[in-house]
Chain A
Amino acid sequence: MKVGLAVPCFIDSFFPEVGIATLELLERLGVDVTYPAGQTCCGQPMANSGFNGASRGTEANFARLFAGFDAVVMPSASCVNHIRKHLDAIPQDEGVRQLRANTYELVEFLHDVLCVREFPWAEFPHRVGLHNSCTALRSLHHANTSEIEEKPFSKPLDLLAGVRGIRFVEPLRADECCGFGGTFSVNEDAVSGRMGLDKVRDHAAAGADYIVSADTSCLMHQQGCARRAGMPLRFIHIAQILNGASA
């Protein structure tokens, strides 16, 4: 299986360590993975703001770079959701349809496609609060949610169970949105900032040293809120822990 690695724009620009961990982890697991050069973005920022026409060039670039891969993996739920549900500014030929169907978020890919549960190289002896992004939860179904009457399950926890020494703390409003929301974070900065502050306080009160998530966009926002409030919380992407990051 030829796998293409798509690195979201904000990870490429500001959190390269998340892209590096994702690539190294996939390689460690024996995946035939390629990072095509020339990547920018998936088109989500424009499309989520209503301007799907403005994302045409971005989507075309994405589709061109990832044509022909058996699967595309991205360490970001909201980007994957955009590609699956909304990447429609460009003509929907067979290649684009295939690409949209074969794009996976990293946790899904590890859990459902590779079916890996053991990460013997990984050890993370810290108290961790898990933050599932809203898209990961309610669109990609990484885990059950508090709103629906269903059997509890959690793909990220299934994976993290294979990490030595990790301990989890449970915030009071575990699956409340943290308030990032893409351009919402600047258009509605007061609400967004407040939601972020409430989120990091909830995790801190539960005793978390780290907040771990499959979505760096949420973490970027929460980290910004925690730093402004002078809180010592730390933030880490799930790929980094699974790849054996020690802190």
Chain B
Amino acid sequence: MSPETHEPVDHAAAAARFIADAPHLAFHDTRLWELRQKRDGQMHGVPEWETLRDLASAIKEHTLSRLAEYLEQFEAQAIANGVQVHWARDGAEHNAIVLRILRENNAKTLVKSKSMLTEECEMSPFLAQHGITITETDLGERIQQLDDEPPSHIVVPAVHKLRTDVARVFARRIGGDPENTDAHYLAEHCRVTTRPLMLDADAGLTGANFLVAETGAMVVCTNEGNADLSANLPPLHIVSVGIEKLIPRQADLGVFVRLLSRSALGSPITQYTSHFRGARDGGRMHIVLVDNGRSKRLGQAEFWTSLKCIRCGACMNTCPVYRRSGGLSYGAVYSGPIGAIINPAYDPARYAALPFASTLNGSCTQVCPVRINIHEQLYAWRRIIAAGGLLPGKKRLVMRLAGVVLGSPALYRLSTALARTAVRILPRGLLYTRLNGWGRDRELPTPPSESFASWHARRKKAG
């Protein structure tokens, strides 16, 4: 994350803009709900599903509680496999290491597969400034790269776009027919324009879904095969990965591979599950192990379990708020429920609104394959953000006032009676103003003639 200060993210305003665009909203909500339903279908096909979630959670918690040991074991294995291992404390160190490796190998062009970590480190703009040409090879990431937008979803990066949008982006950036919105045409057009760049690239960069401590293996799960091309075609393969991606043993992989794609896309497994232990013949392989705030989070009692995340995106697909606001409305690398608990750890002031972009409905927690208590962490962040004075002054004032009124039976009786009277007698134009957030899309309730308390007092008196 860059050190300069940023304006706080206004999720509500961005979400309102997203909702105003009916065709995009309808597609986004429907498409992601389909993924959620496919995920449910896969879950019903695996009778031991809940046990798998228990196991995955336990393996991750065990690994995180002994992270240093497993990292050293992994490093020793990777070195024994002929891989060069680098350690990066933060995004800036990561980017400097990648640039150094590229320069040492005289590499000017880099193809990369999808990696949320490199987004987190803001690597692409840094390398571009230093004369490296980068090509995203995942279809969705490529669309986003060509449109100068960050990914809006960690698994389906361009899910907020319609085919018509993609056709226009392609026409503007890589040629093609802006009117032809046929999916096969668009995919093929991207393929034929991207493939030569892969064949000629000096270096390839991938992320990794899992690092296996006992073997030094890096496991990458993809559906397009682009990670394999990025890793195998160029003579130099760099793997950038967060230190929380470790699992102890090869045998543990089965638990996660069974959960990952079922949770993400509702498919039993990704098309490719590729295990890299060393460079291909004649090639060189480097891995950069990145902390970037993870050690700090590991020390936070309420939030360390967010490091169990395997980046499946199930919490985003199920989130009714995410589906109706789009990933870009979160103004952060990680969007949706998982983003709302990860981003504040980096910059609580900038991302103060995100833990409030939730109804605390808990669906995210229930789909999470590694049992992260996401909605409880959202609640915990709210307390920290409010206590830190990071919310707008108006909100603080309203809450303090509410506390005073609701703390006093007399003030409560008076103010609720006034509210009932106001709703009853005020003309519509005075009730439904710009300040009435409730009334923009909803009617106020019809006020009753008396409160329950007053009815009860009358009844008691009457005996």
Interfacial chain B residues near A195, Cβ < 8 Å? 320-321, 324, 359
A176 contacts across to B, CB distance below 8 A: 320, 363
Q: Is there contact, CB below 8 Å, between A188 and B321?
A: yes
21 inter-chain pairs at a CB distance below 8 angstroms, sorted by A residue, are A15-B445, A19-B452, A37-B453, A38-B409, A40-B408, A40-B409, A43-B406, A55-B406, A61-B407, A137-B362, A145-B366, A173-B33, A176-B320, A179-B359, A189-B441, A191-B12, A191-B16, A193-B440, A194-B441, A224-B438, A228-B443
Contact indicator B19/A194 (Cβ below 8 Å) = yes
Contact B16 A46 (CB under 8 A): no
Given known contacts A181-B361, A188-B12, A225-B441, is B366 in contact with A147 (CB within 8 Å)? yes
Closest Cβ of chain B to A115, distance in Å, is: 27
Judged by a CB distance under 8 angstroms, whether B80 is at the interface is no
On chain B, the residues within 8 Å of A138 by CB distance are 361-363, 365-366
Q: How distant is the Cα of A77 from the Cα of B261 in the complex, in angstroms?
A: 34
> In whole angstroms, what is the CA distance A185 to B387 when docked?
22
* Chain B residue contacts of A148, Cβ below 8 A: 50, 366
Chain B residue numbers with a CB within 8 Å of A177 are 320, 359, 361, 363
* Residue of B with least CB distance to A8: B452
Interchain CB contact under 8 A, B363 and A39: no
Would A197 and B441 be within 8 Å (CB), given that A9-B412, A37-B457, A46-B399 are in contact?
Answer: yes
Most buried by B among A54, A61, A190, A191: A191
Known: A134-B362, A224-B438. 10 other contacts (CB 8 A): A9-B406, A13-B416, A16-B452, A19-B452, A39-B453, A41-B406, A51-B399, A148-B50, A189-B437, A197-B441
Contact status A7-B386, CB under 8 Å: no
The interface bits of chain A over 178-190 (1 if a CB of B lies within 8 angstroms of the residue's CB, else 0) are 0111101111111
B452 touches A149 (CB 8 A): no
A197 to B440, CA, bound (A): 13
Are A58 and B406 in contact, with the CB atoms below 8 A? yes
Residues of B in contact with A (beta carbons under 8 Å apart): 11-12, 15-16, 19, 25, 29, 33, 40, 43-44, 46-47, 49-50, 318, 320-321, 324-325, 356-363, 365-367, 379, 382-387, 391, 395-396, 399-400, 402-409, 412, 416, 419-420, 437-438, 440-445, 447-448, 450-453, 455-457
Chain A residues within an 8 Å CB radius of B453:
7, 12, 37, 39
Give every chain A residue within 8 A of B16 (Cβ-Cβ): 190-191
Closest chain-A Cβ to B149's Cβ sits at a distance in Å of 21
Q: Which of B357, B360, B362, B400 contacts A48 (CB 8 A)?
A: B360
Does B448 lie within 8 Å of A50, measured CB to CB? no
Q: Which of A13, A48, A150, A193 contacts B420 (CB 8 A)?
A: A13
Closest to A60 in B: B407
Please give the number of chain A residues whose Cβ is less than 8 angstroms from any Cβ of chain B in the complex: 76
Residue A233 CB within 8 A of the other chain: no
A237 close to B (CB within 8 Å): no
Cα of A37 to Cα of B320 in the assembled complex, Å? 39
Interface membership of A245, Cβ < 8 A? no
In the complex, the answer to whether A185 meets B438 with C-beta atoms within 8 Å is: yes
**Contact partners of A55 in chain B: CB under 8 A:** 403, 406
Are B406 and A11 interface neighbours, CB within 8 A?
no
Known A-B contacts A12-B451, A37-B457; the reply to A54 vs B399 at CB < 8 A is: yes
Task: Decide yes or no whether A20 CB sits under 8 A from chain B.
Answer: yes
Do B452 and A50 touch (CB < 8 A)?
A: no
Residue of B nearest to A19 (CB): B452
A191 in contact with B321 (CB, 8 Å): yes
- 1/0 contact string of A15-43 vs chain B (CB within 8 Å): 11101100100000000000101111101
Per the bound structure, the CA–CA distance linking A79 and B152 in Å amounts to 35
Among B25, B360, B452, residue most surrounded by chain A Cβ atoms (within 10 Å): B452
Q: How far is the CA of A194 from the CA of B391 in the complex (A)?
A: 24
CB closest chain-B residue, reference A61: B407
Task: Note all chain B residues with C-beta closer than 8 A to A92.
Answer: none
Contact, CB under 8 Å: A13 / B451? yes
Using A16-B450, A138-B361 as known contacts, say yes or no to A189 and B438 having CB atoms under 8 A apart: yes
What is the minimal beta-carbon distance from B287 to any residue of chain A, in angstroms?
35
Complex CA gap A185/B142 in Å reads 36
Interface contact A146-B40, CB-CB below 8 Å: yes
Q: Is the CB of A188 within 8 A of B15?
A: yes
Residues of chain B within 8 A (CB-CB) of A60 are: 407
Known A40-B407, A50-B387, A57-B408; judge A225-B361 contact (CB<8 A).
no
Contacts A13-B416, A134-B360, A138-B363 known; A191 to B452 CB distance under 8 Å? Answer: no
A60 CA to B406 CA in the complex, in Å? 11
Measured CB to CB, the nearest residue on chain B to A185 is B438
Chain B residues with Cβ below 8 Å from A56 are 403, 407
The answer to whether A228 touches B441, judged by C-beta atoms less than 8 angstroms apart, is yes
Which partner residue on chain B sits nearest A226 by CB separation? B443
Determine whether the beta carbon of A51 is less than 8 Å from that of B356. no
Task: Determine whether A45 belongs to the interface, using a CB cutoff of 8 Å to chain B.
Answer: yes
- Among A39, A55, A177, max chain B CB count under 10 A is at A177
The answer, among B43, B357, B383, B442, for a CB contact under 8 Å with A193, is B442
CA distance A109 to B452 in the complex (A): 21
Which residues of the partner chain B approach A35 to less than 8 Å between Cβ atoms? Answer: 456
Q: Mark A57-82, 1 if CB is under 8 A from B, else 0.
A: 11011000000000000000000000
Instruction: For B442, give the chain A residue with the smallest CB separation.
Output: A224
- Chain B min CB distance to A199 (Å): 9
Q: Is A223 an interface residue (CB 8 A)?
A: yes
- Docked CA distance A177–B33 (Å): 13
